[in-house]
Chain A
């Protein structure tokens, strides 16, 4: 008698009954597939994206203002037209918000030179311009600082040798980068006075080595993105024609 079929059947039964524990990993194959233009577009996905894309394109292309010239962050040693514009613009937009919430005015503004992410070209300013100028999601903060802490901020600026955008603060340095004059709204900085400094969350958290914000008397988050402040400003003005001025200059000895 041939018992082979019986044995086979028994074995099969045994195998099926215990299959959960009877697998082992025999082989692994790994590779990376490049998503290139040789892969066909899925039309359903494409059609789904289209209205979103069209809305964004339309909005980014909408004209908000006109720029008289082309402005770049490299057209000045200690202050630039584009930096002055940005610092003044965010002051104009943020100060009414801060005042309505606290009853106080913002005393000065500080941004960073590296944060100017593109040029402003002569011609139409669109929403896209604001995105190119400020692609990041940083928000505006007002930091309370004593005059003594403002001194550290001023010392940073005198040593940085960069056109970090400022507003309402005026600085004069000599050829050795020593501070000759430092005023806020035309007045000398008083050690014990509290100043309200408008900046963004990146710098407040020590970005660009701006460690002087660490010692502060409090911080007010305006929940207002830098880019949105610029967009709101562009919407309000017809034309921009910022200039390099005397807010931060170097005087020969």
Chain B
């Protein structure tokens, strides 16, 4: 893979990127520069084993045991790493049919996932079925726009969480898809769906203005883009353009394979990223955020290399 093919400069004029790169290099040994690595999966759908060599589409791809090695090596390289999932952990192989999600949660805990949001298929054994597996999850569930207060999941899902890595504060919130029409009401029971854009505005206000986070990440199960089939439906791309202060949307639901993360302009015309890595654990997303001390700030702003 030629790295040059993936170089895309988005924020500044040509040349500034090289300059920024040089500036960065000279500070990598200094404590003033921090690198935060965000790793992510989505729609793994109980694909614990790798696909076999006979598989028509994903032969020899995926597998939790391989993902574990990869994540471990990245963590060794940069301890300031966070690992997230964007939902639909459940349903898709007999592992779910037999164990109801127990093994999925146990393995994600062993891989030291930091948090996951909740996908529609995570209700496939009902909200009680999800609740029953919670003891096996040593990571947080984050969802800001499902009101669980009249359900068994009440207090077990956080609207947001702040992670501190080195000197950097990372605020994370989550958005779930509208359940009505997608999931049987008997399954999600009294879970209330709240408007994702309003929720995102409220969350970014808390995380940016009150909590002064350096980085804000949204774990979304809304879906990447519906502009062709249903332009009014909220998607990650729509959310990106309608909000501010979100640095990265980690998406899911639509099983979208992207050749690279999508750079979007938010409502303030600032660049941010939307990413999704297909499905079934055959890819791992990796986004590195480099922070520099304010005094080294150049006019060029943030350079994005995807």
Contacts and interface: CB of A to CB of B under 8 A. Distances in A.
Nearest to A27: B290
A25 B287 contact: no
* Majority secondary structure of chain B interface residues (helix, strand, loop or mixed): mixed
A45 B68 contact: yes
Contact of A42 (B72, B212, B214, B247): B72
Contact of A137 (B32, B124, B293, B302): B124
Given A42-B68, A52-B103, A131-B94, A25 B167 contact: no
* Majority secondary structure of chain A interface residues (helix, strand, loop or mixed): mixed
A30 B251 CA distance: 14
Interface string A214-225: 000000010000
Contacts, number: 179
A24 B98 contact: no
Contacts of B49: 49, 53
A23 B285 CA distance: 24
Given A30-B306, A32-B277, A49-B48, 7 more contacts: A22-B293, A29-B305, A29-B306, A32-B285, A35-B282, A41-B65, A42-B69
Contacts of A42: 65-66, 68-69, 72
A31 B290 contact: no
Interface in B103-145: 103, 106-107, 110-111, 124-125
Interface in B72-123: 72, 91, 94-95, 97-99, 103, 106-107, 110-111
A180 interface: no
B179 interface: no
Interface in B182-208: 184, 186
A20 B167 CA distance: 7
A35 B51 CA distance: 11
Contacts of B294: 21-24
A32 B304 contact: no
B214 A23 contact: yes
Most chain B CB neighbours (cut-off 10 Å) among A28, A40, A53, A205: A28
A192 interface: no
B68 A26 contact: no
A40 B98 contact: no
A44 to B, nearest CB: 8
B273 A30 contact: yes
B265 interface: no
Nearest to B93: A56
A131 B103 CA distance: 19
B67 interface: yes
B187 to A, nearest CB: 9
A36 B97 CA distance: 26
B260 A27 contact: no
Interface string B133-174: 000000000000000000000000000000000011000000
B302 A27 contact: yes
Contacts of A26: 20, 23-24, 33, 290-292, 296-297, 302-303
B286 interface: yes
Nearest to A201: B184
Contacts of B215: 25
Interface in B251-296: 258, 260-261, 273, 275, 277, 281-296
A56 B95 contact: yes
B238 interface: no
A39 B71 CA distance: 11
Contacts of B261: 30-32
A8 to B, nearest CB: 13
A12 to B, nearest CB: 11
A46 interface: yes
Contacts of A6: none
Contacts of A28: 247, 273, 287-290, 302-306
B282 A34 contact: yes
Contacts of B284: 32-33, 35
A187 interface: no
Given A33-B70, A33-B284, A49 B303 contact: no
Contacts of B273: 28, 30
B62 interface: yes
Contact of A49 (B98, B103, B285, B297): B103
